[in-house]
Structure 1
Amino acid sequence: MKRPFIGISGSQLRDDHGSFVELQRSYVNQDYVRSIESQGGVPVIIPLTLDEEVIVETISRLDGLLLSGGHDIFPLNYGEEPLQGLEEVWPERDQFDFMLLKAAMEKEIPILAICRGHQIVNVYMGGTLYQDLKYDTNCTLKHVQNQTPSMAFHTVDIEADSKLAQLIGNTRWVTNSHHHQMVHRVGEGLKVTAVAKDGVVEGLEGTEYPWLVTCQFHPEMMINRSSEAKLLFKGFIEAASTVMG
C-alpha cells in the first residue's frame, strides 16, 4: 500500500558561527519526522514561503498537514498589543502557517496541530491567546517543565466523545508540557476537548471540519515512550490514507 504524504510546516535556522554565519536553513525537529514515519506516513518538510501559489501547489500534493511548534504568535494577529511576558515573534511565520491552513482546509485534508500549531489554529479561526501564563489567574500548574522533553509531566483530562479520546482509547493522558502561551477565547468552529487540571486548554477539535485535532503539548516528543502518542499519530496517518483513497 502507498503511504500518505504528510506535510510538516517548516521553520528557519540561522547559523551564528563558523564558515556559514548568516546562512539560513529550512528545518523541522526530527521528532516530527520520526513520528510520521513510524506510524506509516511519508514526512515532507514544507519550507517557509509567502508565495501563495507555491503553498497551494504544495498542499495539492499532500494527504495531511502537521502544524509544528515554534515562536510566539504576533498579538496583532488577534487584535491585541504586545504585553510584558511576550517572547520572540515572527509575523512572517504566522502568515505562512495561516496560508497553509487555508489551503489545507480548502482541500479538506486531515490536520494535526501541535503547540504553536494548536494556537495558530485557534487564532486563524478568530480566537485569542493569553500572551503569557501569568495573564490567566486560574493557571496554577507549571506548564514549562524545563527538563527531559519526552517526560510525562502533568495530567490532561479529555472529553469522552472527542476524536482524541477515541484515538488513544482513554480520557486521561499524562503529557509533557513546553509552553508559556495558551488559548484564551476559543475560535469559531472549534471546541475544547482536553484541559489540564487548572483549566488550561490542552486540546481543540473542529466542530464541522472532517479531521482537525490540536494539542498544546508535544506528542511527537513522546513517541518512543507513550502508547497514546503512537495511537494519535497512527490515527492521523490512517485518516490521511483515507483521503488519499
Structure 2
Amino acid sequence: MREPVIGVVDLGSDPFRRYMKNKYLAALRAAGAQPLPLGWAADPQAAAAAMARCSGLLLPGGADLAPALYGQAPRPKCGKPCPGRDTAEPLLFAAARAQGKPVLGVCRGCQLLNAVLGGTLYQDLSELPAAHLRHMDFFGRAKHVHTVTLAPGSRLAACREQGAGVQGVNSMHHQALHTAAPGLAVTALSEDGVIEALEASAGPFCVGVQWHPEHLFHRDPFALAIFRAFVQAAQGAPCPPRAAN
C-alpha cells in the first residue's frame, strides 16, 4: 500500500516556523505518510483543489485564532492573529470534510476545528480561574509537563496501550477550548479541568489535541500512535489521483 499524502498547512518561512514545520513533517513520515505542505488557499475552489491532492489534512499549531471565527471581539490578552491562515484553514477544513478526508488538529488546529464547527474559546487561560497548571511551557516541549485523562471508547484511548486513563503530555498554549462544537465530543481533560482533546462523534477521523505530539513522537509511543491512527484513517480515505509520470 502506498504512503498516503497528508496536507500540512504551511506555517511560514522564517527559521522558527521552519523548525516547527519540520517537527510535523518528521512525525508524519515516522507514521508512514508522505507530507505535502499546503499554501494558504484564498477561496473554496483553491482549497478543494489542494485537498483533492491529499488523503488527509493536518492543522498545525501557531498564532491565536481571530476571535471573529468564534463570534467574539478581541480582548487584551488575545495574541496577534494570522489573517492568511485564518482565511485558508477554515476553507481547507471544509474541503477535507466535504471530500471525506480525515483531519488532525494540533493546538491551534484543535481550536480551529472547534471554532469552525460552532464551538468557542477562552482567549486566555486567565479567563478560567481553575486553570492552575503550567499550560504554556515551550522549553518543556519534549517532555510531559502535566497529565490528561483520556475518555473510554475514544480514538485517543485506542492509541494508548493501557487504553483510557491518565496520560502525560506536553503543553504550549495560553488559550483553551471553552464550549465544544456540536458533533464534537470532549475526549481528554487536564487535571485542572481544561479541555485537552475533541473528536467528531460520527463520520471520518476528526481529532483535535491541545498538546503537541510532534515534539514527543520519537520518545513517547502514545504520541506516535496518534499520528499512526491518523495516517491509517487516511489510507482508507478516498484516494487522490496519482500524478502523471
The Cα of 1:244 is off from its aligned counterpart by 4.8
Q: Partner of 1:159 in structure 2?
A: 151
Identity of aligned pairs, percent? 34
Q: Does 1:242 align with 2:236?
A: yes
Q: Partner of 1:142 in structure 2?
A: 134
Out of 124, 131, 135, the residue aligned to residue 123 of structure 2 is 131
Secondary structure of the 2:7 match is: strand
Q: Partner of 2:242 in structure 1?
A: none
- Count residues with an aligned counterpart: 236
Do the aligned partners of 2:69 and 2:115 also contact (CA within 8 Å) in 1?
Answer: yes
The Cα of 1:198 is off from its aligned counterpart by 0.6
Do the aligned partners of 1:12 and 1:48 also contact (CA within 8 Å) in 2?
Answer: no
- Residue type of the alignment partner of 2:235: S
Render the CA deviation track for 1:100-131: whole Å, top value 9, x for unaligned.
11000001111111000000011001111000
Q: Partner of 1:121 in structure 2?
A: 113
Q: Distance in 2 between matches of 1:87 and 1:63?
A: 32
Do the aligned partners of 1:27 and 1:45 also contact (CA within 8 Å) in 2?
Answer: no
Secondary structure of the 1:203 match is: strand
- Residue type of the alignment partner of 1:217: W
The Cα of 1:234 is off from its aligned counterpart by 1.1
Q: Partner of 2:71 in structure 1?
A: 79
TM-score, reference length from structure 2: 0.91
Q: Partner of 2:52 in structure 1?
A: 60
Do the aligned partners of 2:185 and 2:200 also contact (CA within 8 Å) in 1?
Answer: yes
Do the aligned partners of 2:101 and 2:238 also contact (CA within 8 Å) in 1?
Answer: no
Change (3 A) 1:27 1:64: farther
Do the aligned partners of 2:11 and 2:21 also contact (CA within 8 Å) in 1?
Answer: no
Q: Partner of 2:186 in structure 1?
A: 192
Unaligned runs of 5+ in 2: 240-245
Secondary structure of the 2:159 match is: helix
Do the aligned partners of 1:146 and 1:178 also contact (CA within 8 Å) in 2?
Answer: yes
Unaligned runs of 5+ in 1: 16-24
Do the aligned partners of 2:99 and 2:238 also contact (CA within 8 Å) in 1?
Answer: no
Q: Partner of 2:30 in structure 1?
A: 38
Q: Partner of 1:104 in structure 2?
A: 96
Q: Distance in 2 between matches of 1:46 and 1:113?
A: 15
The Cα of 1:230 is off from its aligned counterpart by 1.2
Do the aligned partners of 2:100 and 2:238 also contact (CA within 8 Å) in 1?
Answer: no
CA RMSD of aligned residues (A): 1.7
Do the aligned partners of 1:10 and 1:28 also contact (CA within 8 Å) in 2?
Answer: no
Do the aligned partners of 2:118 and 2:181 also contact (CA within 8 Å) in 1?
Answer: yes
Q: Partner of 1:232 in structure 2?
A: 226
Q: Partner of 1:223 in structure 2?
A: 217
Do the aligned partners of 1:36 and 1:42 also contact (CA within 8 Å) in 2?
Answer: yes
The Cα of 1:14 is off from its aligned counterpart by 5.3
